[in-house]
């Protein structure tokens, strides 16, 4: 599938959702018209947002340095998968200013060779800014308990004050927090969420410093 055709599909998709069409419907219409294969459809629906959504997200984005000595509520799998995708050079800057991955592995996540690398980068970042991380992982995802244990172990190694929770209602909990780290638009758009940290961007921008 050519980038030119995907870009045309993105333009049409944006036009339709700005006109009030439901995203799933608009995506089907556009992708069927341009014959976009299923594997490429995620690149459209995750990168393109309505003008109103872009305005909302950008008004909430905040640099981590402004949260020094504070705490951040973290969408565990969302952030971890995003950082692993960065390490694999598989992230894209979306039109709302947030970096997202297209791994499509959320519910099937498995601890892998990138897991500890990603967690170490996170903790180096938190240590640098004296952040208290509060992780939330979906309990229904296999081996969430094992992953939580690994994070607690590394938290002790870095002498970081933080917490890790395995919960059944991860999105709901995060939607009711004031400061969150996630790329999930549904969470970000909730009115109770005041500030959003893009940890993938933070690590990408500070990668060399964190690896010194």
pLDDT tops 70 at residue 1: no
Pairwise CA distance, residues 184 & 79, whole Å? 10
Please write the tens of the pLDDT for every residue from 3-51.
889 999 999 999 999 999 999 999 999 999 999 998 889 889 999 999 9
Chain segment 126-169, per-residue pLDDT in tens: 999 999 999 999 999 999 999 999 999 999 999 999 999 999 99
Residue written as tokens 């872009």? Answer: 54
pLDDT tens string 100-114: 998 777 678 999 999
pLDDT (tens digit per residue) in 55-79: 999 999 999 999 999 999 999 999 9
The side-by-side arrangement of strands in the sheet containing 163-167 is 163-167, 132-138, 71-75, 179-181, 195-197
CATH of 58-210, one of 3.50.50, 3.30.160, 2.60.220, 3.40.50: 3.40.50
From CA 83, how far away is CA 140, in angstroms rounded? 21
Asked if 199 contacts 104 with a C-beta cutoff of 8 angstroms, the reply is no
Q: Is the pLDDT of residue 99 over 80?
A: yes
Q: CA 16, 105, 33: angle at the middle one, nearest 5?
A: 30
Rounded to the nearest 5 percent, the helix, strand and coil shares of the chain are 55, 15, 30
């Amino acid at each position: 599938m050519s980038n030119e055709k995907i870009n045309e599909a993105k333009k049409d998709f944006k036009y339709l959702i700005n006109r009030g069409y439901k995203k799933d419907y608009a995506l089907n219409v556009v992708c069927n018209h341009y014959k976009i294969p299923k594997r490429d459809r995620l690149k459209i629906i995750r990168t393109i947002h309505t003008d109103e959504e872009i305005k909302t997200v950008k008004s909430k984005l905040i640099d981590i340095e402004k949260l020094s000595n504070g705490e951040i509520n973290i969408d565990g799998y969302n952030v971890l998968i995003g950082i692993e995708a960065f390490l694999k050079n598989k992230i894209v800057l979306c039109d709302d200013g947030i970096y997202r991955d297209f791994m499509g592995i959320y519910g099937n996540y498995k601890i892998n060779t990138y897991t500890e690398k990603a967690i170490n980068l996170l903790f180096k970042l938190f240590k640098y800014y004296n952040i208290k991380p509060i992780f939330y992982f979906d309990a229904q995802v296999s081996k969430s308990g094992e992953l939580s244990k690994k994070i607690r172990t590394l938290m002790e190694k870095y002498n970081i004050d933080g917490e890790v929770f395995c919960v059944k209602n991860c999105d709901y909990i995060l939607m009711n927090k004031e400061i969150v780290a996630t790329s999930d638009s549904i969470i970000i758009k909730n009115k109770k969420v005041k500030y959003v940290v893009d940890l993938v961007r933070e690590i990408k921008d500070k990668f060399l410093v964190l690896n010194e």
